[in-house]
């Protein structure tokens, strides 16, 4: 397929400036993915703030030298450093390079959000039906599925090039016909809490379906937004899931008929309680009673409603082991307004912002296992951090932090 540019895009490309350089890059990418045109986008979310080597910095500096600025509102994903609490990250060179990379993105006009959950920031939440160019697998999945915005799975470099150009290739999940479900996952009634069901389903659809779009039927209507976040993050970790439809919960899925092209799934599978528990058990490498080195929540970043669910549980004995929660820097303000920061602190909880414990070196002691309520963290931690992992509900995580070993409720 050949790429056709509009007269406006052609004029832009011929101007020979920073924006045209970015547009040329987007056009080459569009050709590589077989897109026939480029479309204007309303926002971008950049996943290039993690330092992977000199090339990470060179690419941004290349555009700074050309005098580039982003053409549309652009949020930044987590970086390698907590800029608000710099002492938290160990490793000098990562601190210097990681910080430089985060600051270089700000010079391009990106917003200092440093969060993997930009959809939690009211002014950065993409509108239903809007085209955006987002990076970071969970953010992509949430924007498409829960917000009903349209983005492909953009990766390093191309997300920033789209932000500077203001255009994205028109292909994949940008197109209505590619957003229909291919298979149906029926969730049978179970006694599991919503958050656990969500992670189990997410783990399953990514592991089994890879990039195939699933329609999920049977999630309770009381399932909360952060539980859908957990579902999408798990699915986008075990598979290349960019979009899922939860019938009755997500905006493109009011009914089962609405999500299938010819109103019929190619295949259907039912997950009963045993199957859901089997998915969850794959997320733990240790058993009940295993000694813990730390508890970590907030992968992707913990939202205010998640803190609200946590607060009533912070009673009794304080945490015996390091307990971290990753969140965005804006949340710090809300927490202090509510007086929750003191309660968290008294319980022994350390708030980490701008980054995430699973991508950088914050946890000191990993001789014991790490416990989390995040399917994504549980999936990546053994390889990224080299530690044993225990997955559990929010209540189990809190109780385990108090005991210093894995507690099952």
Q: Rounded distance, CA 68 to CA 170, Å? A: 23
Instruction: Out of 8, 54, 123, 272, name the contact with another protein by CB under 8 A.
Output: 54
- Residue 7 to residues 70, 161, 168: CA-CA distances in angstroms? 21, 20, 16
Residue whose C-alpha is closest to residue 242's, from 276, 210, 196:
210
Residue 28 in contact with another protein, rule: CB under 8 A? yes
Does 393 bind another protein (CB under 8 A)? Our answer is: no
Figure out which of the listed residues 42, 103, 156, 225 binds another protein, where binding follows CB under 8 A. Answer: 156
Binding to another protein by residue 155, rule CB under 8 A? Answer: yes
Torsion of CA 29, 209, 191, 407, to 10 degrees: -70
Where does 66-193 have alpha helices with state H?
92-107, 137-145, 158-165
Cβ at position 28, least distance to another protein in Å: 6
SS3 assignment, position 327: strand
- Build a one-symbol-per-residue string for 320-349: x at contacts with another protein by CB under 8 A, - elsewhere: ------------------------------
CA-based angle 145:150:154, to the nearest 5? 100
The Cα–Cα gap between 61 and 48 comes to 12
> Is the preceding omega at residue 300 within 30 degrees of 0, hence cis?
yes
Nearest to 292 by CA among 398, 167, 196, 180: 398
Query: Does the protein bind another protein through residue 374 (CB under 8 A)?
Result: no
H or E element that contains 26: helix 18-32
- Give the CB-side neighbour count of residue 132, counting CA atoms within 13 A: 29
Distance CA 153, CA 381 (A): 22
Task: Report helix angle 18-32 to 158-165, nearest 10.
Answer: 130
Which of 153, 229, 245, 376 is in the footprint of another protein by CB under 8 A?
153
**Candidate segments 53-61, 67-75, 91-99, 386-394, binder of another protein by CB under 8 A:** 53-61
Pick the closer one to another protein by CB: 57 or 332. 57
**Binding window for another protein (CB under 8 A); candidates: 151-159, 175-183, 198-206, 301-309:** 151-159
Parallel, antiparallel, or unpaired for β 369-372 and 389-391?
parallel
Site for another protein in 226-255 (CB under 8 A): 240
Whole-angstrom CA distances from 69 to 48, 314, 338, 349 are 15, 45, 37, 38
CB of 106 to another protein, least distance (A): 19
**Chain-centre distance for alpha carbon 279:** 20
Residue from 256, 332, 384, 405 touching another protein (CB under 8 A): that is 384
Q: What mask, x for binding another protein by CB under 8 A, covers residues 192 to 231? A: ----------------------------------------
Candidate list 8, 10, 15, 62; residue touching another protein; CB under 8 A: 62
Query: Looking at beta carbons only, is 47 or 217 nearer to another protein?
Result: 47
| Nearest approach, Cβ of residue 38 and another protein (Å) | 15
Give the total of residues touching another protein (CB under 8 A). Answer: 29
175 counts as binding another protein under rule CB under 8 A? no
Least distance in angstroms from the C-beta of 383 to another protein: 6
Side-chain-side CA neighbours of residue 211 (13 Å): 9
141 contacts another protein (rule: CB under 8 A): no
Q: Is 65 in the site for another protein (CB under 8 A)?
A: no
The radius of gyration of the chain's CA atoms, rounded to the nearest angstrom, is: 21
Indicate whether 300 belongs to the interface with another protein (CB under 8 A). Answer: no
* For another protein, the closer CB: 132 or 247: 132
Query: What's the closest the beta carbon of residue 53 comes to another protein, in angstroms?
Result: 4
Q: How many CB atoms are closer than 10 A to CB 222?
A: 8
Among 44, 49, 76, 158, binds another protein (CB under 8 A): 158
Q: State yes or no: residue 80 binds another protein (CB under 8 A).
A: no
List interacting residues with another protein (CB under 8 A): 25, 28-29, 31-34, 47-48, 50, 52-56, 58-59, 62, 135, 137, 153-158, 240, 383-384
């Amino acid at each position: 397929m050949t790429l056709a540019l509009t007269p406006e895009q052609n004029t832009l490309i011929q101007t020979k400036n920073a924006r045209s350089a970015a547009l040329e890059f987007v056009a080459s990418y569009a050709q590589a993915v077989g897109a026939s045109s480029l479309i204007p986008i309303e926002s971008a979310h950049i996943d290039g703030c993690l330092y992977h080597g000199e090339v990470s910095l060179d690419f941004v500096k290349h555009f700074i030298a050309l005098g580039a600025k982003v053409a549309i509102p652009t949020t930044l994903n987590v970086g390698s450093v907590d800029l608000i609490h710099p002492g938290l990250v160990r490793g000098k060179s990562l601190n210097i390079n990681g910080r430089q990379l985060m600051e270089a993105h700000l010079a391009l006009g990106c917003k200092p959000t440093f969060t993997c959950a930009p959809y939690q920031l009211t002014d950065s939440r993409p509108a239903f039906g809007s085209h955006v160019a987002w990076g970071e697998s969970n953010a992509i999945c949430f924007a498409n599925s829960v917000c009903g915005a349209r983005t492909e799975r953009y990766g390093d470099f191309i997300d920033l090039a789209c932000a500077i150009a203001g255009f994205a290739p028109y292909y994949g999940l940008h197109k209505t016909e590619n957003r229909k479900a291919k298979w149906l996952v029926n969730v049978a009634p179970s006694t599991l809490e919503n958050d656990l069901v969500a992670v189990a389903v997410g783990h399953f659809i990514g592991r089994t379906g890879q990039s195939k779009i699933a329609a999920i039927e049977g999630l309770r209507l009381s399932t909360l937004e952060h539980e859908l976040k957990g579902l999408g993050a798990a699915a986008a970790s075990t598979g290349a899931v960019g979009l899922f439809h939860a019938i009755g919960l997500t905006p493109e899925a009011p009914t089962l008929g609405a999500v299938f092209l010819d109103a019929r799934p190619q295949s259907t599978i039912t997950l009963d309680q045993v199957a859901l528990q089997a998915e969850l058990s794959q997320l733990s490498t240790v058993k009940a009673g295993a000694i813990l080195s730390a508890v970590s929540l907030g992968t992707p970043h913990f939202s205010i409603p998640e803190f609200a669910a946590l607060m009533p549980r912070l009673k009794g004995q304080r945490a015996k082991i390091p307990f971290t929660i990753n969140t965005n820097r804006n949340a710090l303000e809300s927490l202090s307004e509510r007086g929750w920061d003191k309660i968290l602190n008294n319980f022994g909880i350390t708030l980490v912002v701008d980054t995430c414990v699973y991508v950088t070196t914050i946890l000191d002691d990993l001789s014991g296992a790490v416990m989390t309520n995040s399917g994504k963290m549980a999936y990546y931690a053994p390889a990224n951090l080299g530690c044993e992992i225990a997955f559990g509900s929010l209540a189990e995580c809190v109780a385990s932090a108090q005991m210093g070993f894995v507690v099952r409720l």
